[in-house]
Amino acid sequence: MKLFAIICTRTKDLSPTTSTLVNTLSSYGVEVKLLVNQQSIFDAYQKGLEKCDAKDKDIIICCHDDLELKSTKSQFLVGISKCVSQETGIVGIAGTTLLDSDAVWWNQERWQAGLHRGFVIHYNNEHKKLHDTHYGSHGQVVALDGLFLAARKEVWETVGFKKPPYFEGEWDFYDIHYTTTAHHLGFKNYTVPIKMIHYSSGELVGRDSWHKNRNAFINNTKLPIRI
């Protein structure tokens, strides 16, 4: 079994964070495919998949470029091995057991109700500090955050990277679309204990394309989706 990672980045001159991520993944036995200046996350992941000399059972990671992997190699491999099971669809590090009518996986009320799963270390740009975000114990979920998604090649090909025709934006809500599609296909998605720092505070959520794709998803999906 081989491991691959597809990472989109804005420039060939990699930031220190991206360089460290690539080096860490490579040292853990992951073959990294970088895609620069892409016009669509959907198209980019499809191109990345085609660049991977992967077999059906090989694992392909799709992740952001602003991550720092803090798990040791053995911890990482144990976490990613959840993909091997035939029942498993997509694994990640944060998600929810209930995607309700607002289609916002990290909804605060459901978080307080104990319906979310996973753990992420976030970097607060304003205060220049790291803070732990405990969503809940790891386990099965219906939807995952797109900062880190992993699945066997055969799962990605079944789910499909193609953008839904009702989406306008090229960079938003792909994670919710991919992971709920896997759920509806009968796969089981999971959060796994892979520790990462995400150097982002989610600023892109406020952009118009995020709201347009969210509304399009709501209008074309039977919600709620739950385990």
- Phi, psi angle pair for 32, to nearest 5°: -95, 135
The model carries a pTM of 0.95
Domains in the chain and their CATH numbers?
3-226 (3.90.550.10)
DSSP sequence for 1-18:
--EEEEEEES-SS--HHH
Q: How far apart are the first and last CA of the chain?
A: 29
Q: Is 202 left (phi over 0), alpha (psi -120 to 50) or beta?
A: left
Count other Cβ atoms within 10 Å, centred on residue 47: 16
Residue-by-residue pLDDT tens, the chain, 227 positions:
999 999 999 888 999 999 999 999 999 999 999 999 999 999 999 999 999 999 999 999 999 999 999 999 999 999 999 999 999 999 999 999 999 999 999 999 999 999 999 999 999 877 789 999 999 999 999 999 999 999 999 999 999 999 999 999 999 999 999 999 999 999 999 999 999 999 985 555 557 899 999 999 999 999 999 99
